Structure 1
Amino acid sequence: MSRILCSQVYKPHLLQKIVQRSTATPLNNEMNKYSLACLACLAVLLVVTPALIKAYSFDATTIDPNNPEYCFSESGVTDMFTLFDCLDAFTVQKNDWDVSLSFTDLSRYDAAQPTAQERADFTATVTAMLNIDGDCSCVTVPTSISSYYAIATFTDTSKNSDFCVFYEKVRKRPQAARSSGYPPNHVVGIVHNYADIIFIYLFADPRFAPQSSRQAFTSTRKEYEKGWGVFVVPKTARQVSRFIHLSAPHPKWDLGTPQQAAYLFANSGAKSLLVDGRHRWAISTQSACISAGNHSLTDPTHDNNEVFHSASQAIHNWQINAPNTCPVTGGCAFIQIHGKGNDCDGSGGTVNSRIFVSNGLAGSSTLYQTYSTSPANRLAYYLSLEFGAGSGGVNMPINDTVCDLAAFTNVFGRIVNGVSNEPANNECIMAATDASAFNMNRFVHAEQSPDMRALSPDSCPSTGCSGASRSINTNWPAWNTALKKAFDATCVGGVPADSDSLLCPP
C-alpha cells in the first residue's frame, strides 16, 4: 500500500507539506513507514488546524475590512459623507436575489426579509433613537436583530460632533453552507510515501461536500446580508437645528444620493437620516403594491413591505406626535433625495430641470399654487435662488405638468399626505388628494440630474476606502444653504440660531 487517506480537514485551496525523513534511522518494515506517515500527517494538522479554525470562524473582536463595521475604524472615514461613501459599497446589488429568469423564485429575497418581530424591533429602535440626548448606548438593539445590527457612536471630525448610527454590522458571508456545519470547500488529506520523502497533500474535493452545500446560494460580493438600511441621529438635542428628516431610498441606482443625503444631514442640523441598504432592483420580481409602472419588490418607495418604508413611518409617527416641532408652514419636513436623467426621464416632460421638486401630489394638484408656504414650495424657491429656475434650473409640477416624477405613487409620500395605512396595504391602492394632504403636506421629493449628485472617480469601493480621494459635489454647499433657509431653526431653550451659519449654537 503506497497511499494512506490521512483525514478530512477544511481548507479552500491546495496545501502541500513535505516532511523529510532522517536517513540516520532507516525504517525496517512497512508498518514503521505507515506509522511515520501518520505521525507526519498529525504534525501538519496540529500546525494547520488552529489557522483553519481562525479562518472559518468570525472573531467579533477583530474588524474584518470586508464588513461594514470596518467603516467606523478606517482612517479615511472622518465625516458623515465619507462614512456613507464607505457604507454604500455594501448595498445589496442589482439582480442579486434573482434566482432564475422566471423571477418566480423568491427564496433569496424571503431569506432577507424580516419576521414580524424583527420588523417591530427595528422600527422600535428607530423610534427610541429619535429620543437620544447625550448617549448612544442608552438604546439597546433588541435580541431579535442584534446578530445583524448594532448602534455605534461616530465622530464627524469636520464638525467635532458625535452621531448615533444604527447599521448592519456584518456583510453576507460568502460561505452560505456554514450554518449546516460545513465549510464552503471540503479538503481531503492524502499522504504519499516515495523513497525517503513523505508528501502530504490537502486539496479541495467537491465530492466530499454535502449536496446541499454545493447547491446553496453563496455571494462573494461585499454586501449586506439583510439590507434593511442605516439610520442616524445626532447624539445630542443641541445638535438639532431643524426638524427635517432626510432619506435616500435608492442607493446604487440614484448614484451619489446616499452621500449627498449624508452631507446635507450633517451640515443642515437635521434631525435624522435614513438610507436604504438595497438596490431598487435587487430582485426583478414586480411589486404587487403599486401596479402602475415598473417597480420591484425591493423598491421601498413603491412597495410597503420594505423595512425602509416601515422605518420611514416610524420617523413620521414620532415627528407628528412631538410637541411644537412641526408646524406645517415652518421647520418640519420629510425629504427624499432622488436622481433622474438630464431631462424628466419619465413619460414626457417639457422642461429640462436640474432639480424637480414635488410634494407627492400629481402635477394637476392645486396645492402647488395655493399652498405656497408648503415645505416643497419653500425648498424649491430657495433652491431656485441658488441654481436658477426654468430650463436648466429648479422646477415643480406647476412649471412642468407633463413630467411624471411628481411621486404621486410614492407610498411614504401618500402616508405623509394623509393616506392611512389601514386597512392593510391601503397606501398601495389609495392615492393622496388635495383634501387629504391639506395641512399635512410635509413631504418633499427632490429629483436631480446627474451633475447635481455626481462624485469624483469611484475609488472607495475598489480600495475599501483606504486612501479614497473622493470629494463632495461642488453643488452641495449651495443645496445646503437653500435647505437651511427653507426651514427655520428651532433651537433647544429657544435660543436664536447663528445668523451666519443658520445653525443652533452647540
Structure 2
Amino acid sequence: MTVILLGLFALDILIVVTQCAPSDCYRHPDILSMHTCLANYFAKKDTLTANEWQQMLPTATERSQYNQLISGILSAKDASVCSQNLLSQYPEIADDIEVRYYQKSYCIIAESKLHPTKNIFRRSWGYVIIADDTWSKLNVYHSAPHFQSDLHTDIEAVMIFNMTRSRAVAINGASRFAVQDGVKSPCITEYYAADASHDNRTMFFVANSAMLAHQGASCPHEHCAFIQWHGMAAGSCPDANVFVSTGISNSHNTYSLPGLPANKIVAAFNQLGMGVAKTPKESICNLVAAENVFGRLINGVTTANVCKTAAASSGVTGKFVHIEQEPSVRAEFEKWTQIINSAFPL
C-alpha cells in the first residue's frame, strides 16, 4: 500500500491518496480525493503501444450500451437506479465498469478492472459523474479531455462541477501522449492517437454525446452549456490568460451575442481581476477549437463526420464552451465557481 502526497501548484492544497484497489477509491470522503485515487490508474505518457491502445477502444456495441447507460441515469427520477444491478441490462460493458452511488448525491460510472501487466485501467475509458436531479442546480455539463498534459484540468473540472452543483462531468482516462512513438489519430491525423479532443472513437466522446442527446434542443443560454476545460502554456495567447471560444473561428458573428455562454464567462472572469479573459472577437489567438470533435457535434456535424467536416456557420449554437487557461488560474476553484454561477444564475 502506497501513500501519495500531491501538491496543487503553489497553493495550500494537499491531497493525500492511499493507493490500493480501484474499488477502494469510493471510500474517500470527498470528491477530490476520490477523483485523485481513480486518476492514479489513468494511462500516462508513453504507457501504451499502438496495438494496446487499439484494443482498449470501445466496440460499436460497447459504445451503444455506454450511451444508453448514461442516458438512462440522466433520465432517472429515483436515485436508486444507480446501482451495480443496472449493469445486467448492458452485458457488453458490465465486465469493465461499475456503477457507484457516492455521497448520496452522485452516480459514478467508472472502470472496475486493471490492465493485466500495467497499473492502469484495462480500457482507459475514464469516468462520468452524474448528479442527482434533487442535488443538481445547473444544467451545465463539464468535461476534461487532457489528463496529465493539460496539468490539473481534470481536477479543476471535477471540483467546479461539484462546487457549482452542475449536472454531470466526464473525465478522460488517458493522456493524449499515452501511445508510444508519436502515433497519430486516424480521425484528424495531425493529432496524437489518444487525443480525446480530436478523435470520435473514445468513450469520452461517447459520454459527452450521451449528455448532449439527453439535454437535446432544450439548452437555453441562460442556464445551460457544455464546458470543456483545457490548459495552455503561458503566452500561448499573448493577449489573454484565459481564452474562451465556441468551436468556431474568430470572425463568427455569434461572439457578438451578449447572452452567449462564452461571453458571459469572459465578462464574469474579467470582473474578478484574476487576469484577462477574451473570446475570439477580441483576440487573434488561434485556439478556437474548430477541430474539437465534440464541439463539431454540438455545432451540427454528425458523429460520423466530425473527423473530416468543420462546423458550418449556420450550425453554431453557442452551447459548446471551450476554455483555455494559463497555469496561474487553473487552481482558482472558488473564483471559477463564482464565474460559472454568475454566468448561469439560478
Per the alignment, residue 130 of structure 1 pairs with: 74
Partner secondary structure for residue 90 of structure 1: coil
What aligned pairs does 1:284-299 form with structure 2 within 5 A after superposition?
A: 284-291=182-189, 294-299=190-195
CA–CA distance in structure 1, aligned partners of residues 130 and 85 of structure 2: 12
Query: Residue 100 of structure 2 corresponds to which residue in structure 1?
Result: 152
Letter in 2 for 1:70: D
Shift of 1:65: 4.9
Residues 415 and 149 of structure 1: is their aligned pair in 2 closer, same or farther, counting only changes over 3 Å? same
Distance in 1 between the 2:271 and 2:30 partners? 28
Partner of 2:280: 397
Using structure 2 for the length normalisation, give the TM-score. 0.88
Question: Residue 227 of structure 2 corresponds to which residue in structure 1?
Answer: 335
Over 3 Å counting, the alpha-carbon distance change for 1:313 and 1:139 in structure 2 is: farther
Q: CA deviation at 1:288?
A: 2.4
Runs ≥4 residues deviating over 4 A = none
8 Å contact from structure 1 (residues 296, 303) kept in 2 = no
Question: Equivalent residue for 2:3?
Answer: none
Rounded to whole Å, the distance in 2 between the matches of 1:269 and 1:237 is: 10
Q: Name the structure 2 match of 1:41.
A: none
Look up the equivalent residue of 1:488 and give its one-letter code: P
Aligned residue among 284, 287, 296 for 1:414: 296
Look at both structures and tell me which one has the larger radius of gyration over its CA atoms.
1
Tell me which residue corresponds to 2:8: none
Deviation at 1:137, TM superposition (A): 2.2
The verdict on how the C-alpha distance between 1:288 and 1:110 changes in structure 2, with shifts beyond 3 A counting, is closer
- In structure 2, the residue corresponding to 1:338 is in which secondary structure? strand
**Cα deviation 1:460-505 (Å, max 9, x = unaligned):** xxxxxxxxxxxxx3x210110110111132xxxxxxxxxxxxxxxx
2:259 aligned residue (350, 358, 373): 373
Local SS of the residue matching 1:128: helix
- Supply the AA of the counterpart residue of 1:227: S
Tell me by how many angstroms 1:358 deviates: 0.9
Q: 1:139 offset after TM fit, Å?
A: 6.7
Q: In the alignment, is residue 319 of structure 1 matched against residue 215 of structure 2?
A: yes
Q: Quote the residue 2:335 is aligned against.
A: 478
Distance in structure 1 (CA, Å) of the matches to 2:300 and 2:85: 30
2:63 alignment counterpart = 119
> SS in structure 2 opposite 1:164?
strand
Deviation, structure 1 residue 170: 2.3
Give the number of equivalent residue pairs: 323
Contact 2:110/2:126 (8 A) holds in 1? yes
The separation in 2 between residues aligned to 1:232 and 1:441, in whole angstroms, is 24
Pair 1:452 & 2:329 matched: yes
Q: State how far apart, in whole Å, the 2-side matches of 1:139 and 1:303 are.
A: 31
Structure 2 CA distance for aligned equivalents of residues 232 and 407 of structure 1: 24
Three-state SS of the structure 2 residue aligned to 1:143 is coil
The equivalent of 2:198 in structure 1 is 302
Alignment of 1:434-445 (within 5 A): 434-437=313-316, 440-445=317-322
Residue 13 of structure 1 is matched in structure 2 by none
CA distance in 2, matches of 1:107, 1:430: 27
CA deviation map 1:419-440 (0-9, x unaligned)? 223xx3x112221233211xx2
The amino acid that maps onto 2:120 is E
Unaligned segments of structure 2, at least 5 residues: 1-17
- Same amino acid, percent of matched pairs: 28
Give, as a single letter, the amino acid of the residue that structure 2 aligns with 1:372.
P
- Secondary structure of 2:110's counterpart equals strand
RMSD over aligned CA atoms reads 1.8
Q: Distance in 2 between matches of 1:137 and 1:66?
A: 22
Q: Tell me the alpha carbon deviations over residues 240-263 of structure 1, each in whole angstroms, 9 at most, x when there is no partner.
A: 111000001111111111111111
Determine whether 1:79 maps to 2:22. no
- How far the C-alpha of 1:138 sits from its partner, in A, is 8.3
Residues in 2 aligned to 1:432 and 1:128: alpha-carbon distance in whole angstroms: 29
Query: What is the TM-score of this pair, normalised by structure 1?
Result: 0.61
Q: Aligned partners of 2:203, 2:84: CA distance in 1, in Å?
A: 23
Partner of 2:9 in structure 1?
A: none
Distance across 2 between alignment mates of 1:451 and 1:230: 26
The 8 Å contact of residues 358 and 397 in structure 1, kept in 2 or not, is answered as yes
Unaligned runs of 5+ in 1: 1-63, 99-105, 156-160, 175-218, 454-472, 490-506
2:54 counterpart letter in structure 1: D
* Cα distance in 1, alignment partners of residues 46 and 224 from structure 2: 36
